[in-house]
Amino acid sequence: MNFMRFMPESTAVRAGSALVLVAVLAACSGTSKPKPAELPTNASLIGVRQAWSVKIPAVKFPLTTDISGDVVTVAAADGTVVGIDARAGRETWRASVGAPLAAGVGSDGSITAVVTTGNELVALQGGKVIWKQRLTAQAFTAPLVAGRRVFVQTADRNLSAWDGESGRRLWSQQRTGENLVLKKPGVLLAVGDTLVAGIGGRLAGINPANGTSRWESPIAAPRGTNDVERLVDLTGSVSRVGDTVCARAYYASVGCVDTLRGALVWSKPASGAEGLGGDDGFVYGTEADGSVTAWRRADGERAWQTTTFKNRTLTAPLAVGRSLVIGESTGLLLFVSRENGGLLNRTTPDGSAIAATPVVVGNTVVVVTANGGVFGYRPD
């Protein structure tokens, strides 16, 4: 059934307040923040060269960067959106949507989409705004642009599809879930002819033509006695190899789902808030205590774990070459061995926090900082 349910104002305010509460609880657990572990001397076991840099305004929202061909699309909190040729390190276009951003970026190389703090879905093409549409609620997950359509998931569990050229709404489906949602990017991607979305602690396969459900597979089940304890939303980047998608449930577990069958392959307890990286053999994640963990992709058994970065706040890892590339809240960019978690090298782009999970285009790792630095690195 195609329908849309607007979230009442009282519900929206309650959800916003609770989201802040979740962040406060996480930050205030314990009498004081544990001291980050001292890092070993940088042995520079691999070479890391900065190839280029581009400047954008500050990034103060949960940015997800997007890659299409050689172009990586980034955005700033003030509504600036920029396409960068990651091989050459030059801007291909720059635009402004005229309002602060809450979520982004999604792009297919032609159409780019972001969501403003005023709950507007904005589409751009050729560096110009082509349409805007009002959403039912706030959105923190970057829109997905695929098949000339724009897919959006909002905080009231509404999933919708829009025509990429005209902005006409194609369908909207209201999903049920827990009362609270995370103020963090969730899961939304295309796998073959299926739209795959995180809904609470479940990964769901959806028909992109009309929004009907094809399958659902739980990676984590709500637990606890109150709304905060029961919060297990799927969050951050996923690791996809073929038809298998591995994702993290907030402070609950990591798991992999066969999206052809809609069946859970495995799920293991884990305590983290960031997404996952991976390769053919392993799934990698950073935990809330700063540890970095590798799970075997086949069965979820832990292959190794390192506490070198204990009590440091880390991004999700990017697997590239022989390294995991991980950003850190004090501004470090870490290059960690995929074999055992050992530190291979580290560098500091501009001294501000790494604002998004690093991405790779060809042999170039692209990093965005909170101060608006966009850097291209080429590790050996």
CA gap 46, 177 in Å, rounded: 45
End-to-end CA distance of the chain: 52
Q: 330 is written with which tokens?
A: 């004090």
What is the mean pLDDT of the segment spanning 309-325?
Answer: 97
Kindly indicate the confidence band of residue 43, based on its pLDDT and cuts at 50, 70 and 90: confident
Per-residue model confidence (pLDDT) at position 182: 85
pTM for the whole structure: 0.91
CA distances (Å), 157 to each of 152, 222, 233, in order? 10, 16, 11
What is the mean pLDDT of the segment spanning 298-306?
Answer: 98
Kindly indicate the confidence band of residue 276, based on its pLDDT and cuts at 50, 70 and 90: very high
Task: Give the SS3 label for residue 170.
Answer: strand
Strand 318-320 with 302-306, pairing? unpaired
Per-residue model confidence (pLDDT) at position 228: 86
Kindly indicate the confidence band of residue 361, based on its pLDDT and cuts at 50, 70 and 90: very high
Per-residue model confidence (pLDDT) at position 17: 35
Q: Is the peptide bond before 105 cis (omega within 30 degrees of 0)?
A: yes
Which one has a higher pLDDT value, 277 or 27? 277
Kindly indicate the confidence band of residue 1, based on its pLDDT and cuts at 50, 70 and 90: very low
The model's pLDDT over 164-196, given as tens digits with 9 standing for 90+, comes to 999 999 999 998 767 788 889 999 999 999 999
pLDDT at 214 over 80: yes
What is the mean pLDDT of the segment spanning 2-13?
Answer: 31
From 71-80, 172-181, 283-292, 329-338, the region with the lowest mean pLDDT: 172-181
What is the mean pLDDT of the segment spanning 114-143?
Answer: 97
Q: Is 254 in contact with 268 (CB distance < 8 Å)?
A: yes
The model's pLDDT over 235-271, given as tens digits with 9 standing for 90+, comes to 999 999 999 999 999 999 999 999 999 999 999 999 9
Average model confidence (pLDDT) for the chain? 91
pLDDT at 2 over 90: no
Per-residue model confidence (pLDDT) at position 11: 35
Per-residue model confidence (pLDDT) at position 24: 33
pLDDT at 300 over 60: yes
Question: Which of 62, 79, 46 lies closest to 316, judged by CA?
Answer: 62
Q: Is 371 in contact with 352 (CB distance < 8 Å)?
A: yes
Which one has a higher pLDDT value, 360 or 34? 360
Which one has a higher pLDDT value, 175 or 5? 175
Number of C-beta neighbours around residue 179 at 10 A = 13
pLDDT at 21 over 80: no
CA gap 92, 114 in Å, rounded: 18
What is the mean pLDDT of the segment spanning 74-99?
Answer: 97
pLDDT at 5 over 70: no
pLDDT at 4 over 80: no
Per-residue model confidence (pLDDT) at position 262: 97
Per-residue model confidence (pLDDT) at position 28: 42
Question: Which of 183, 228, 238 lies closest to 60, judged by CA?
Answer: 183
Kindly indicate the confidence band of residue 227, based on its pLDDT and cuts at 50, 70 and 90: confident
Give the residue carrying structure tokens 């569990």.
157
Per-residue model confidence (pLDDT) at position 322: 94
